[in-house]
Amino acid sequence: MNQKKKIALAGGGYCLYAPRFPRYFEAPGFADEACIANAIVPSVFFLAFLEGTTPLSLRCTKVDTENGKAVLTYEDAGGLKVVEHRFVTQDDRFVSELALHNTSKAEREITIVLWTTTDPEGEPVSLEGDSFRIRRMIKTTGADVPADILYSNPGTKGARCLQGFFCEGGSDRPDYEETPWFELAALPTPRAKRPLEKPSPIVAGSRVYAGLFRTLGLKGGGKAEQRFEANVTFKGKKVNFRARRPDAKDENGWQAFWDKVPRFSCDDKAMERVVRHRFELLYLLRQPHGAGAFGSPAVCEGNGDLHQPTSFSTPAIIREARWLQDPALARGCLKVFFDNLLHNGQVPGRVHMSGLESADFYHADWGGGFEALDAIHPDKATKKAVLVPMQRYVKWLANNRDPEGSGLTDIVNHFEARQEFSRRYAVIDPKADRAVEFEEQFRLKGIDASVFRYRLVKWLHAVAEEIQEKAMANRFLAEVEVILDTIRRKMWDEKAGLFMDLDPKSRRKTNVRAAVGFYPLATDIPNAKQVDKMIDLLGNRQEFWSKYPVPSIAVSDSTFDPAGRWKGTRKDAPWNGRTWPGVNCHILEGLTYWAERGNKKAGRLATKLLESTIKMLSGDLEGDQTPNSLEHYNPETGLGSRYRGIDMSLNAFVLDNVFRVACGFAIRFGEVQDDPIGDTIDFRLQGMPLGNKVYDVERKGGKLKVSQQ
């Protein structure tokens, strides 16, 4: 199986079919893993085609995609052709629409069987005549998901529910021969609509087989259509959600979404592909409001175990979603976290449908994300809605991550800055990498965490001023001045030419050259002399300017490893030398900030860094034209973390940097301004939102043209 040939299906509900390591995606149905909210299930359902009681051997001959659906063609040796349209709807239905064609002259009777397996715990499977239902609290590492799944063959009569079986053994393969019905002379059906009775005792590791079937007669040359689906709803403690049925002409919300997406074209086809892919990720990973803790729409960080909104990545997602014409998604991403603020003022690290975890926390650039959103979609109502919760969060940071009032912000374990397995922490605590939970293990004044706090407080000062909250604005202003002065004085290392973390016990800098030390570039914290030294260090091939920059730690560091190995073991998320697109985007923003202020070297580096980042994301380095969004990349080869299976990671704001650096325009004071900072490309961006208007922005022959639609 080629990892680059994956498929991902979603409809803007709470379900996603984007298996990390697909094995059976060429088998009919949904045979690989799927995400139901933040829970991962090994499969949804399988489909088999029988003639009599004998399963047919269908061969997948073609795989296409069409309007957000996977289209697979199957054929057997006897002339049966089946075309499957596989998709996920807006109301969380996993759907297989089948078009059968008997290309032979002989009449054939085909039985289609849908089946699945589940564990024997909890509520028994409900056998409902022509369908069956499974209700479960699906166990996860976070909050469990209360799922109610109805499996059916809607639209036509004639489907029959199969008698369920409790079985020991078996695998997760889509092989009908493993089912308990295979060796029976006829497909058994229950006598009446009733729950499946649970025998006793049940051996640990047993599974329940449940299914339904539909028999069709196909004359020579005959055709038929059938639809099989698993409809997921949510009902449990604090959760009671059933989505409204979508328009039958746009069940997966494909057309509705892309009607509100700006259309980007340029001569650089790799960049063009990357831009479209970023919007595709928003389409696939968005979630609606209404279920449990989701009082606002949101966007998940990725597929697999990242399929939930995460505070670390959400500010970057806001900056991607702000380019959509409808601001509801970007605003919802902001509100879903601050509407779910914990009682003490802490922002939850992740939002689950049925609960939050009090220990789960990440430092994040909320100020940068909120300010960027307001530049394109200004809205006083949103500001008023989140200002007080954000003030509570700032107070929590001061009390819990800066108890001594230094103006700098503490990181207390190697997870909460989302940069685990790094010498940043090992110099403070040699056992820092052994942590498995979000508990305090050490105290480190983090440069990234301190910059994020500074940006948030500075932006909240501007918001409070705008909505006439003078007392609040004055408090924010006083805090801004303290943080700014302290970062400048205590975290700058003149010899290294970089900002560094601080050990609060020794009050000394850690002497670890990490890429986050460049984050102050995006602010007014450094002076011009410091900026020059930082840019020189960034461009140094012996330190940070690798072939595919920027590695998360300097090449000269004793722990640097481009292959992601930490103490001899390749890690899922190593921060000792891999190139992370999220870090690149923060550094690109910083280079842009100073290029706008006349630093020509910053402009040149920004252009080169964006080119390198696009190469990694475009698929060109793999000899393919399929864009990717992997978590991290090798700084020497530019190849990404395919081994993770996470290829839908939204933790970087790529669109901002493409439009600002490559296209050369800026959004300021409610208008589009022509402000190239380096070499620009000719491009066309149709349908770009700004305020309550939509514009076409085009550069041709070096000249920028902006026109309102």
- Tell me the domain boundaries of the chain: 3-248, 514-656, 663-709
Tens-digit pLDDT profile for residues 576-632: 999 999 999 999 999 999 999 999 999 999 999 999 999 999 999 998 889 999 999
pLDDT over 90 at 348, yes or no: yes
Q: Which helix (H) or strand (E) holds 86?
A: strand 80-88
- What integer is the mean pLDDT of 687-703? 96
Alpha-carbon distance of 493 to 491, in angstroms, equals: 6
- What integer is the mean pLDDT of 662-667? 98
Alpha-carbon distance of 623 to 313, in angstroms, equals: 29
Tens-digit pLDDT profile for residues 488-527: 999 999 999 999 999 999 999 999 999 999 999 999 999 9
% pLDDT > 90, the chain = 92
Structure token digits, residue 642: 């395919």
Task: State the pTM of this model.
Answer: 0.96
List of residues 6+ apart from 504 with CB closer than 8 A: 404, 406, 408, 410, 443, 444, 445
Q: Considering the domain 3-248 in this protein, what is its CATH number?
A: 2.70.98
List of residues 6+ apart from 611 with CB closer than 8 A: none
Alpha-carbon distance of 120 to 196, in angstroms, equals: 10
Q: Could you give phi then psi for residue 627, rounded to 5 degrees?
A: -65, 155
Tell me the Ramachandran region of residue 110: left when phi exceeds 0, alpha when psi lies from -120 to 50, beta otherwise. beta
Query: Which residue type sits at 250?
Result: D
pLDDT over 70 at 451, yes or no: yes
pLDDT over 50 at 133, yes or no: yes
pLDDT over 80 at 4, yes or no: no
pLDDT over 50 at 1, yes or no: no
Tens-digit pLDDT profile for residues 209-267: 999 999 999 999 999 999 999 999 999 988 999 999 999 999 999 999 999 999 999 99
Identify whether the C-beta of residue 193 lies closer than 8 Å to the C-beta of residue 60. Answer: no
Alpha-carbon distance of 238 to 236, in angstroms, equals: 6
Query: Which residue type sits at 310?
Result: T
Structure token digits, residue 591: 């280079």
Lowest mean pLDDT among 186-195, 497-506, 646-655, 679-688: 186-195
Q: Which helix (H) or strand (E) holds 388?
A: helix 380-401
Name the maximum alpha-carbon separation found in the chain.
Answer: 86
pLDDT over 90 at 54, yes or no: yes
